[in-house]
Chain A
Amino acid sequence: MAGADPEKLIAKADKLSVYILRHCLNLLISPSVTSSTRLGDLSVLVERTKLTLTRWSADWRNATQYYEQAVKPWDAAKHMESAAALAVELSIWNEAADFYRRASELYNECGRSQPASDALAKGARALEDHKPEEAIAMYTDACALLEEDGKENMVFDIYRAITSVYIKLEKYTDAATFLLRWAVAANKCNALHSQCKAYLSAIIVYLYAHDFQEAEKCYNDCCQIDTFLSSDQSHCASKLLSAYREADIEEIQRVAKSSTVSNLDHVIIRLARKLPTGELVAMEINSLEHGAALDEDDLT
C-alpha cells in the first residue's frame, strides 16, 4: 500500500500538470477575436483559393494568413476537448462541463455544428452518472444545435440517450415528452419507421408510469397522423390498450413479447417486459365512468 500510493499520486500530479498547462494554453490561444471575423475569414479564404478567370493558380501566400486565423478556434476547441477529458478522468465534474461547453462554442465559431454537438454529447455522456441534470441540459443543447442546422438525422442517438437518462431518473412524463419530440424530428427527415417506434415507446412509457388516461390520450393524438395509423406499431398499441382495458395480464405480456415491441430500444423493451404495473382492475371502472359521463352530457 505504501508503494502503490506514491505512484498513484505521481500519476495524478502528472495529469494535473498537463491539465493546467492545457488550460493556460487555451486561454492564450483563444483570443478575443469576434466570431464574425472568424466566419468572415473563412469565406474570404474560400474566395481567395478558388480559381477564377483572373486567378489561374490559388493565391496561397495570401490565403495562409487567413488559414492561420481560421484554424485557431478549431485547434483551441480540440485542446479544450482534451482538457475536458482529462478533467473527467480526474473527476472534476464542473470544470469538465465548462470545458466541453467552451469547446462546443469554439466549434460553433468555426461554423461546424456537428462537432459542436458531438462535444456536448461527449460531455453529457461523461456526466451521466454523476450529474444527470447537467447531462440532460447538455444533451438538449446538442439537439437544439443540430436541429437549428437542419441535421435531424444525427439527433436520434442524442434523443435515445436523453430518454434513457430520464427513465433511469424515473421521470417518465419527461421521457415521453422527449420521445414525442424525437418523433417530430423523425418526421422532418422522413424516417417514418423511427417515428412510429417513438410513438409506441411513448405509449409504453405512459403505461409503465401507470397513467392509462395519458396513454390513451397519447394514442388518440398519434392516430391523427396517417403514417402511424396504418403501421404495425399502432396495431400493437391498440392491442396493448385494449388488453389494459380488459385487465388481461396474459395478453399484455404476450403483446410485450411480440416482435414489434422487441424491435424498440432496449430500455423500452425492459419497461414493456415489466409492464402490468400496479392494479389493473381499476382501469375498467375508470373507463366505464368516463363513458357514462359522456353519455349524460350528450343527452343534455
Chain B
Amino acid sequence: MGVIDLVTRVDAICQKYEKYDIDKQKDAINNILPNDAFAGLYTAIESDLNQVVEKSEHLEERSANESEVASAEKNRATAVAMNAEIRRTKARLLQELPKLQRLAFKKVKGVSKDELDARNELVLALKERIEVVPDGATTRTQPTNGLESSSSNGKIKFNSTLDETYDHTYYQHTDETNNFRQEYEMRRLRQDEGLDVIAEGLGTLKNMAQDMQEEVDRQVPLMDEIDDKVERAASDLRSTNVRLKDTVTKLRSSRNFCVDIILLCLILGIAAYLYKYEWNLML
C-alpha cells in the first residue's frame, strides 16, 4: 500500500468522523459571519438533506437485500413508513427554500459579489438535490419528466429507472382496486341475467312464430278453394243478372203495356164519371 492510499484512507475516515471534531465545528461556526443568516440556513438545510439521502440509501439497500416473502410484509411496512418520513422532510425543506432564496439576494457584509451570485445557484442546486431523493411517490413522474426533457432536448433516452423505482406498493391490491373488481363482477352477473331473460323471450317468440307459420301454411289451400268457389259463384251471379234483365225487358212487352193503358183509361173514366155525378149531386 502506497502513501497515496494511506492519505486517501485517512481522509475518508476524517470525513466520516468529522462531526466528532469539536474544534473544527467551532471554527466553522466562528467563520460564519454573525449577520449571515443565509449561510446558517443553508448549512442547516444541507445537513437535513444529507440525512434524508442517507435514509433513502439505507432503504434501497434493504429492499435490494431482502429475499424472503415472509419478512417482505414487515419490510414493506417499514419501507412505507420511511418513505413517508422522507417525503415529510422533503416537503419541509422545499418549504424553507424560498426563504433561503430571499436571503440569497440580501447583501451581507463580508461576502463578495461573486459569492452572492453563486449563492442563488447554490439554492437552485439544493432544490434539485432535494427533489431527486427517491421517496416512493415521485417514481412515475420522473421517467416521464426524463422523456419530456429528452424530447425537448432532442435526445433519446432509455429510462431504465422504471424497473428500479417501482416498488412493492405499486403492485399491491388496494381497497380501490378490490372495489373496482367487485363492481365489475356484479355488473357482469347482472348482464348475464338480462341476457338469459332475453334468450328465453326469444325462444318463446321463435316457437310461436313457427306455429303461426304452420297454421298459415295449413290455411293456404283452404283459401285457394274459397277463391275458386267465390269466383264460380260470382260468374253465376253475373249470368243470372243478365238473364234477369232480359226477362224484365221481355215482360214489359207491348201486350202488357196495352193492357196497362186500357186499365188506366178505365180507371180515369170511372173517376171522371164519379166526379161528374157528385158534382151534379152537390150542385
Contact = CB atoms under 8 A, between A and B. Distances in A.
Interface stretch (A139-147, A188-196, A215-223): A188-196
Contacts of A260: 203, 207
Contacts of A189: 217-218
A57 B239 contact: yes
Q: Which of B200, B203, B208, B214 has the most CB of A within 10 A?
A: B214
A259 interface: yes
Contact of A193 (B200, B211, B218, B239): B211
Contact of B218 (A58, A153, A232, A262): A153
Contact of B217 (A58, A154, A191, A259): A191
A194 B239 CA distance: 45
Majority DSSP secondary structure for residues of A touching B: helix
Interface in A204-249: 232
Contacts of A259: 200, 203-204, 207
A260 B207 CA distance: 8
B214 to A, nearest CB: 5
B214 A191 contact: yes
A245 to B, nearest CB: 25
Contact of B221 (A153, A190, A194, A262): A153
Interface in B207-251: 207-208, 210-211, 213-214, 217-218, 221, 239, 243
B210 A193 contact: yes
A263 interface: yes
A259 B199 CA distance: 10
A263 B214 CA distance: 14
B73 to A, nearest CB: 45
B213 A193 contact: yes
Contacts of B204: 259, 262-263
Query: Which of the four size classes fits the interface of chain B?
Result: 10 to 19
Contacts of B200: 259
Contacts of B221: 153
Given A259-B200, A259-B203, A259-B207, A190 B217 contact: yes
Contact of A58 (B206, B213, B214, B239): B239
A191 B214 CA distance: 6
Query: Which of the four size classes fits the interface of chain A?
Result: 10 to 19
A153 B219 CA distance: 9
B214 A193 contact: yes
Contacts of B203: 232, 259-260
B241 to A, nearest CB: 13
A262 B203 CA distance: 11
Contacts of B211: 193, 263
A189 B217 CA distance: 9
Nearest to A153: B218
B207 A263 contact: yes
A153 B220 CA distance: 10
B130 to A, nearest CB: 69
Interface in A16-70: 57-58
A259 B201 CA distance: 9
B195 to A, nearest CB: 15
B258 to A, nearest CB: 30
A106 to B, nearest CB: 21
A116 to B, nearest CB: 16
Q: Which of B200, B217, B218 has the most CB of A within 10 A?
A: B218
Nearest to A49: B236
A50 to B, nearest CB: 10
Contacts of B207: 259-260, 263
A169 B221 CA distance: 35
A24 to B, nearest CB: 33
Given A153-B221, A259-B200, A263-B208, 6 more contacts: A153-B218, A259-B204, A260-B207, A262-B204, A263-B204, A263-B211
Interface of A: 57-58, 153-154, 156, 189-191, 193-194, 232, 259-260, 262-263
20 contacts: A57-B239, A57-B243, A58-B239, A156-B218, A189-B217, A189-B218, A190-B217, A191-B214, A191-B217, A191-B218, A193-B211, A232-B203, A259-B203, A259-B204, A260-B203, A260-B207, A262-B204, A263-B204, A263-B207, A263-B211
User: Which A-B residue pairs are the 5 nearest by beta carbons?
Assistant: A263-B207, A193-B210, A153-B218, A259-B203, A191-B214
